Structure 1
Amino acid sequence: MRLDETALGVFVITPTPFTEDGALDEASTDRMTEAYLAAGASGLTILGIMGEAPKLDAEEQQRFVARVLHRVAGRVPVVVGVSAPGLASMRALAGAAMGAGAAGVMIAPTPGLRGDDAVVAYMAQAAEAVGDAPYVLQDYPQSNGIHISPEMIRRMAEDPRLVMLKAEDWPGLDKLSAIRRLSAEGRMRRIAILGGNGGLFLPQELERGADGIMTGYAVPEMLVRVQRMLAGGERAAAHDLFDLHLPLIRYEHQPGLGLAVRKYVLARRGIIGSATLRAPGPKLTPETRAEVDWLLERLSRRDPVLAL
């Protein structure tokens, strides 16, 4: 199964589960994978920014990829984040992932690039490094400081290996519309676009022409239902459901703290065994845990899917 421009739906970005002592938690990895598939995920993305990839060594990265792919067993496409400071590391992980059955890889421009031509040239070099693997361009300037215009994306899309944009610029809705307009006018090959940013703008992104979302919100069942409702013309119901979850989405989206909150919620739901992050990383204070517990309790009374 290879990723292509027709991809759509909810691609859940998974965390990397660890035991209390910081080791890879293979049992939780299996349970988490099955939980996301049961939630209706159209695909999975692993070793993304929220997957703590830089905290894993090369052997651990490949072992985690192999474990997820073995569990998925071809049921949905799996995208592997391979962004790295050096192309050699990117080449090695991409080769191992594709050899193990990944559908494609995700690449973000490296920080420090200056000027449009430098960014486009870097992505061309990265594409060569991952060989014939289909790739997702992660457009996330809040993380790497690299701003990518619609025209730059048009240039990059001349390479058929670029099959998907993960659109996380902020504000990004008009940018999403501009990219879709380039395709509608015949000036750019159409590629899949999936939103991100924790799901904060899910309904609007879908209404602007996104094909789905790629994020790790800890209640992915909501993401799946909202997309299906909007596709079925149930706009008001989709927005009403989304609005129920918005306080928790917002809380999860706090810079520097979001992954710790997300892992805590996933542990509360029984999807992973521990909320442990590898150091360096924040730990939730009792006050923060109490706030998240209150959000979960309140949400569970209004959305039965969140049974705790």
Structure 2
Amino acid sequence: MQMISAQSKGVFVIAATPFLPSGEIDLASTDKMVDFYFEKGADGLTILGMMGEAPKLTHSEALSITKQILKRAGDKPVVVGVSAPGLAAIGELTKAVMDEGAAGVMVAPPGSLRTNEQIIAYYANVVQTVDEDVPIVLQDFPLATGVHISSATLGTIFENHANIVMLKHEDWPGLQKISDLRAAEEKGRRRVSILCGNAGVFLPEEMARGADGAMTGFAYPEMMVKVCRLSNRGETDKARDLFDAYLPLMRYEQQPALGLAVRKYVLAKRGVIAHAAQRKPGADLSPLAAKEVDILMDRLEKRLSALR
């Protein structure tokens, strides 16, 4: 298994955790899902994130699904989310998944952090807890965590800790943050890989600002792969034309508390997972909402046919 680094690029899909209607993990769908992501061109996966319903898993379940996905992924890099309220839990899970062959771990800041000093101290403690040889992804997602990290504070953290090699950029609005970080690198600060989330709704702009790719769970990973490749080749108009075809569905899944239900429904409709079930608590799509998603998927296919 290759480790992530500051040079990592491409699309690391945030993977769902498939469940049976009973609430048990759907092991057969898990293997099928991993195959699907890589068949669609993903460069790596990120598991046990917010989309993966990690807080709903027990420690033993988290380890079990990690082992299964790592085995199925072969030599492809898999990042494991290890965010937790306490450092001890982060340290324990990190050691376990790295021993199994994970490519790195992702850590989001707890919502209790309020000042720049607290944020800087927190990541210093994380690095000390997990070992300085473990590659870390810093997840910057203030819409979910409530923690706002400035460009300057991120810069300080990156300068202090060489093993924080990647930023999962999910600030919104946050395009200026990408520009700030890349400008600082041009002045001599070390490079950090930047992969972007937020369902990919700003992906063309993020790539133009200097992002290295995407790290999100939109249920059409092939779109993110193609947009990134076209952007890297300078074919920006083609990238935007393709992106525009998917935008209505991406917009629909941005509804608060409903996004995961939409993604799992789409994955089930595409035959990737057997069930759209979430482990409780979780919001299900109403019959009317499901019909709306069906319409968006049908319209997407028509727009893609017109682009071919």
The answer, yes or no, to whether TM exceeds 0.5 is yes
1:183 is aligned, of 182, 185, 194, to 185
Q: Corresponding residue for 1:112?
A: 112
Q: Secondary structure at the match of 1:51?
A: coil
Structure 1 unaligned segments of length 5 or more: list them: none
1:49 equivalent to 2:50? Answer yes
1:287 equivalent to 2:288? Answer yes
Q: Secondary structure at the match of 2:51?
A: helix
Q: Corresponding residue for 2:263?
A: 262
Q: Secondary structure at the match of 1:266?
A: helix
Deviation at 1:27, TM superposition (A): 0.5
Structure 2 unaligned segments of length 5 or more: list them: none
1:124-163 residue CA offsets vs partner (Å, 9 max, x unmatched): 1112222221000000011111111111111111211100
Instruction: Give the distance between the partners of 1:129 and 1:246, measured in 2 at CA.
Output: 41
Q: Corresponding residue for 1:142?
A: 143
How many residues are treated as equivalent by the alignment?
303
Q: Secondary structure at the match of 2:165?
A: strand
Matches within 5 A, 1:84-163: 84-131=84-131, 132-158=133-159, 159-163=161-165
Matches within 5 A, 1:154-303: 154-158=155-159, 159-186=161-188, 188-303=189-304
Q: Secondary structure at the match of 1:79?
A: strand
1:225-257 residue CA offsets vs partner (Å, 9 max, x unmatched): 111111112111110000000011111121100
Instruction: Give the distance between the partners of 2:70 and 2:82, measured in 1 at CA.
Output: 15
Instruction: Give the distance between the partners of 2:278 and 2:304, measured in 1 at CA.
Output: 28
Larger CA deviation: 105-114 vs 202-211: 105-114
Deviation at 1:303, TM superposition (A): 2.1
Instruction: Give the distance between the partners of 1:253 and 1:100, measured in 2 at CA.
Output: 34
Larger CA deviation: 205-214 vs 250-259: 250-259
Instruction: Give the distance between the partners of 1:23 and 1:114, measured in 2 at CA.
Output: 37
Deviation at 1:114, TM superposition (A): 2.1
Give the letter for the 1:173 counterpart: L
Identity %: 52
Give the letter for the 2:130 counterpart: V
1:74-94 residue CA offsets vs partner (Å, 9 max, x unmatched): 1x2100000000111111111
1:74-124 residue CA offsets vs partner (Å, 9 max, x unmatched): 1x2100000000111111111111011000000011111121010110011
Give the letter for the 2:103 counterpart: A
Instruction: Give the distance between the partners of 1:135 and 1:171, measured in 2 at CA.
Output: 24
Give the letter for the 1:177 counterpart: S
Deviation at 1:302, TM superposition (A): 2.3
Give the letter for the 2:164 counterpart: L
Q: Secondary structure at the match of 2:70?
A: helix
Give the letter for the 1:84 counterpart: A
Larger CA deviation: 63-72 vs 294-303: 294-303
Instruction: Give the distance between the partners of 2:4 and 2:300, measured in 1 at CA.
Output: 35
Q: Corresponding residue for 1:71?
A: 72
Instruction: Give the distance between the partners of 2:18 and 2:44, measured in 1 at CA.
Output: 18
1:40 equivalent to 2:53? Answer no
Q: CA RMSD in A?
A: 1.1
Give the letter for the 2:221 counterpart: P
Instruction: Give the distance between the partners of 1:129 and 1:215, measured in 2 at CA.
Output: 27
Larger CA deviation: 120-129 vs 33-42: 120-129
Give the letter for the 2:52 counterpart: G
TM-score after normalising by structure 1: 0.97
Deviation at 1:185, TM superposition (A): 1.1
Q: Secondary structure at the match of 1:256?
A: coil
Instruction: Give the distance between the partners of 2:129 and 2:31, measured in 1 at CA.
Output: 30
Q: Corresponding residue for 2:24?
A: 23
